[in-house]
Amino acid sequence: MEDKESAVLAAFQELSDSADVLRLFARASGLGNLVLGVWAPRVAQQFIKSTAVLQRIGNFPCVVVNEALTREIIRHSLLHAGVTVELYERRGSQLTCAKRGTPGNTTDFEAMLFEFDDAELQLLATGALTVAAEKNGSVRLGVASINATLRCIHVAEFTDGGPLSHLDAVVSQFSIKELLVAQDSLKGELERSLKSLCERASVTLTFVSPKEFVDSGLCQRRLQMVLRVPEEKMVLMHMPLATGALSCALRQVAPGDDSNANAYFIKPIQPMSLVRLDSAAIQALHLITVGGPEASKGKLPTSIYGWLNRCVTGMGSRTLRQWILQPLRSVAVINSRLDTV
C-alpha cells in the first residue's frame, strides 16, 4: 500500500499526529479514506470492532474506511467525542484539506452529515466567553454563540455565581458544543467550575490567545457585512463583555465570506425569560438524548423530543427541539405561541 499511498504518507508527515484532530485522507483509488497514526487503532476498535484490519504506511498504523463509515466516524467525532475533523481530498497528485469541522461548527460537513436528518447537528453552535470579577465574589460573564448552519448569533451578558449555574443553562439550552476562553483569564475555583460544567455538558473547552477577544474594529466590520439588518448590532451597545466574546467567535468561525453576506441575524439571550434548564436537569428529565443519536428506525425513543417529534421537515424538528430546551416563562408569549400553533 505504501507505494500507492505515498502522497498520503507525505501529507501526514507534514502534520502533527494529534489525538485532538482526526484526519481522513482520500485514497488513490478513490474508494474510501485512510486514517493514520494514533486514530487508526481507535477507529479499528470502536467502529470496525477488529484490529485485524490495521495495516501500515511507513512507520504509521493505518486503516481503510468506506464512505458510509466515514460519515459515521465524522458524525461521532464532532457530536460526541468533541474533536476537530479534517478531510483531505486529492487535487491532482496533492492532498489538500477540503473540509474542516469543530464540535461547534459543522458547516463544511453539512451535505455529508445532514443525510442523517438529525436536528441536533443543525443546532450546534460555537461559543466564546469573557469573564470579569465583581466585588461581591460573583462574576460578570459575556457570552456569544454563532450557529454557522442556521446563520444565527446569540449574545448575553449576566452575573453568575461560583457554580456558574446560569452559564450552564445558557450553554445547554442554546446547544453550544465548543467554548472559547482566553488563556489565563480563569483561575482557581472559577476555572475548576468551568471545566466541570464543560465535562457535564459534553462541551469542548478551548483556550485561545487573549488578543482574540480584543475588538479592533474587525467585529464591527464583519457584523456590518453579515447581518441581515445591520442595525441589529445596536444590542451590543451595553454589552462590552459580550462584544469581546463575539469578536473571538467571529474570528474562529469566520463567517466573513461572500456566501454569508447579509445572511445572519443577532439576538440577545434573556436567561430570565426562559425556564432555567442546566445539563443535569436536561438529562434527568430525558428531554433529549444526551451522548448519542435519537432513536433509530425500529427502536423506541428514549427522550421527550424523540416521542414528540413527528415533524415532516427539518425546520419543524429544529423548532421543536429548541422549544423543548427553551421553555417560556411569560404567559403572554406562551399564549401567543399556542395561538400560532
pLDDT of res. 147: 86
Q: Is the pLDDT of residue 314 over 80?
A: no
pLDDT of res. 115: 52
C-alpha to C-alpha distance for 293 and 181, rounded to whole angstroms: 28
Place of cell 447537528: 121
Q: How far is C-alpha 117 from the chain's CA centre? A: 17
pLDDT per residue as tens digits for the range 203-242:
989 898 888 888 767 777 778 888 888 888 888 888 999 9
Average pLDDT over residues 279-292: 82
C-alpha to C-alpha distance for 245 and 129, rounded to whole angstroms: 5
Contact, 252 vs 144, CB < 8 A? no
Contact, 154 vs 129, CB < 8 A? no
Average pLDDT over residues 263-291: 85
C-alpha to C-alpha distance for 107 and 263, rounded to whole angstroms: 14
The number of residues in the chain equals: 341
Q: What is the pTM of this model?
A: 0.74
Contact, 291 vs 202, CB < 8 A? yes
Q: Is the pLDDT of residue 27 over 90?
A: no
3-state secondary structure of 294: coil
Kindly indicate the confidence band of residue 118, based on its pLDDT and cuts at 50, 70 and 90: low
**Mean of per-residue pLDDT scores for the chain:** 84
Q: Is the pLDDT of residue 290 over 70?
A: no
Q: Is the pLDDT of residue 3 over 70?
A: no
Kindly indicate the confidence band of residue 140, based on its pLDDT and cuts at 50, 70 and 90: very high
pLDDT of res. 310: 87
pLDDT of res. 258: 66
pLDDT per residue as tens digits for the range 235-244:
888 899 999 9
Q: Is the pLDDT of residue 95 over 80?
A: yes
Q: Which CATH number fits domain 6-101: 1.10.10.10, 3.40.1170.10, 3.20.20.70, 1.10.3720.10?
A: 3.40.1170.10
pLDDT of res. 311: 86
Kindly indicate the confidence band of residue 92, based on its pLDDT and cuts at 50, 70 and 90: confident
C-alpha to C-alpha distance for 96 and 112, rounded to whole angstroms: 18
Q: Is the pLDDT of residue 24 over 90?
A: yes
Percent of the chain, pLDDT > 70?
A: 90
Average pLDDT over residues 6-28: 87
Average pLDDT over residues 296-301: 67
pLDDT per residue as tens digits for the range 34-44:
999 999 999 99
Closest CA to 180 of 81, 134, 117, 246: 246
pLDDT of res. 292: 55
pLDDT of res. 212: 86
Q: Is the pLDDT of residue 65 over 90?
A: yes
pLDDT per residue as tens digits for the range 171-183:
988 889 899 999 8
Average pLDDT over residues 126-152: 87
Sorted by where each begins, the domain ranges of the chain are 6-101, 120-271, 279-340
Average pLDDT over residues 251-261: 64
Instruction: Assign domain 120-271 to a CATH class.
Output: alpha beta
Place of cell 481507535: 42
Burial level of 92, CB count in 10 A (0-12/13-18/19+)?
Answer: exposed
Q: Tally the C-alpha atoms within 13 A of residue 319's C-alpha that lie toward its C-beta.
A: 9
Q: Is the pLDDT of residue 200 over 90?
A: no
pLDDT of res. 144: 94
pLDDT of res. 295: 54
Max Cα distance, the chain (Å): 69
